[in-house]
């Protein structure tokens, strides 16, 4: 057990047990290291929840079960010294950074968590077995750290949904807290993978967040028009009359209100995002789209085109050069405007 400033580095389960003895409520943030401001936001949220008498533990473990190829595992950045500094500055009491042998004594586990049908969609389809490995290590870390609450980022929305489902289905005595995605000033979602982008690739990668924001704005506009249609007498006939009078802008506005429908939101959302992603596919370097999906946050099934109410997640994944990036944004259909 080593202490760096106010943050203690723990390497074994025995050290973790000893460190937690007799302390107050514990909040845990699970990571694979390479900590950045997104992780720091999670740690600060955990610190607030745990309070001055509680304890915040950050786990740093690059889980081999989540990597389909050995090259990807080897490429993942290991920056433990920097991680300790970030964790300490954000308010962590300890960093638990066990070895692979400590987490998986005797080799890879023979019994694993099965992510089920949700784990086969989107990210699961692109990375077979990824979510089984993720849930297995999260389950192990929950047992090892025994937190009252565990904090995860909304950027990995499918991961968060699966963890919540596992905790509910298997009766883990822990609260799972989702924290809003943290973005860089240009809109790119914070990720340890961003460091692999050169300047030109980064410009192309910005299409992911731009597509999501455009879809969000399009939905807001659609819902505002529908709200106006409920309270005004706009008709296509009135629009035609305004056109004859030369009131072109007023005619266009009236026409838009008259045509506003509550059941074209999903179609409009997908179209707005797709336009930007299609443009990025023709950029240099190009964006190679993996998926664009508008899904139910409960099970990640596709939202039907006629959905008029309820929550959704618009998720996107793509490659720029050799780097694969994901992003998402929550949406609500039928929200007040």
pLDDT by residue, tens only, the chain of 337 residues:
554 457 999 999 999 999 987 788 999 999 999 999 999 999 999 999 999 999 999 999 999 998 877 777 888 889 999 999 999 999 999 999 999 999 999 999 999 999 999 999 999 999 899 999 999 999 999 999 999 999 999 999 999 999 999 999 999 999 999 999 999 999 999 998 999 999 999 999 999 999 999 999 999 988 877 666 666 555 555 545 545 666 445 434 443 434 444 457 899 999 999 999 999 999 999 999 999 999 999 999 999 998 889 999 999 999 999 999 999 999 999 865 4
Nearest-angstrom CA–CA distance, 323 and 328? 17
Please, which residues have CB within 8 angstroms of residue 172's CB and are 6 or more apart in sequence?
139, 142, 166
Pairing of the two strands 323-333 and 310-320: antiparallel
Predicted local confidence at residue 174, as pLDDT: 98
Q: DSSP string spanning 208-276?
A: HHHHHHHHHHHHHHHHHHHHHHHHS---HHHHHHHHHTT-HHHHHHHHHHHH--TT-HHHHHHHHHHHH
Does residue 289 sit in helix, strand or coil?
strand
Predicted local confidence at residue 6, as pLDDT: 73
Cβ distance 265 to 304 under 8 Å? no
Does residue 137 sit in helix, strand or coil?
helix
What is the 3-state composition of the chain as percent helix, strand, coil, each rounded to the nearest 5?
A: 50, 20, 30
Number of C-alpha atoms within 13 angstroms, CB side, residue 121? 21
**Phi first, then psi: what are they for 205, rounded to 5°?**
-65, -25
Residues forming the active site? 39
Predicted local confidence at residue 22, as pLDDT: 73
Predicted local confidence at residue 253, as pLDDT: 43
Predicted local confidence at residue 256, as pLDDT: 40
Alpha carbon 304 to its chain's center? 22
Nearest-angstrom CA–CA distance, 263 and 94? 50
Predicted local confidence at residue 224, as pLDDT: 79
Taking Cα atoms as reference points, which of 168, 163, 143, 142 lies closest to residue 153? 163
């Amino acid at each position: 057990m080593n202490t760096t400033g106010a943050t203690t580095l723990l390497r074994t389960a025995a050290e973790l047990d000893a460190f937690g003895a007799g302390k107050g409520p514990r909040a845990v943030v699970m990571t694979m290291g390479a900590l950045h401001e997104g992780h720091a936001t999670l740690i600060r949220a955990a610190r607030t929840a745990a309070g001055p008498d509680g304890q915040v533990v950050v786990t740093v473990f690059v889980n081999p079960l989540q990597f389909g190829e050995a090259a990807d595992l080897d490429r993942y950045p290991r920056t433990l010294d920097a991680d300790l500094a970030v964790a300490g500055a954000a308010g962590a009491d300890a960093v638990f950074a066990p070895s692979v042998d400590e987490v998986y004594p005797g080799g890879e586990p023979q019994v694993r968590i099965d992510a089920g049908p949700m784990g086969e969609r989107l990210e699961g389809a692109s990375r077979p077995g990824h979510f089984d490995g993720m849930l297995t290590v999260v389950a192990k870390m929950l047992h090892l750290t025994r937190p009252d609450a565990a904090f995860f980022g909304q950027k990995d929305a499918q991961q968060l949904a699966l963890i919540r489902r596992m905790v509910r289905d298997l009766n883990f005595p822990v609260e799972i807290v989702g924290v809003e995605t943290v973005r860089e000033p240009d809109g790119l979602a914070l990720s340890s993978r961003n460091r692999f982008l050169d300047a030109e690739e980064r410009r192309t990668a910005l299409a992911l967040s731009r597509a999501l924001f455009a879809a969000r704005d399009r939905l807001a506009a659609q819902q505002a028009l529908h709200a106006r249609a409920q309270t005004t007498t706009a008709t296509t006939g009135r629009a035609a009359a305004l056109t004859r009078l030369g009131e072109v802008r007023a005619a266009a506005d009236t026409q838009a209100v008259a045509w506003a429908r509550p059941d074209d939101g999903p179609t409009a959302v997908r179209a707005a995002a797709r336009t930007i992603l299609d443009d990025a596919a023709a950029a240099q370097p190009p964006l190679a789209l993996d998926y664009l999906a508008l899904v139910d946050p409960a099970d990640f099934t596709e939202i039907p085109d006629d959905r008029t109410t309820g929550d959704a997640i618009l998720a996107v994944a793509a490659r720029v050069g050799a780097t694969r990036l994901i992003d998402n944004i929550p949406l609500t259909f039928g929200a007040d405007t």
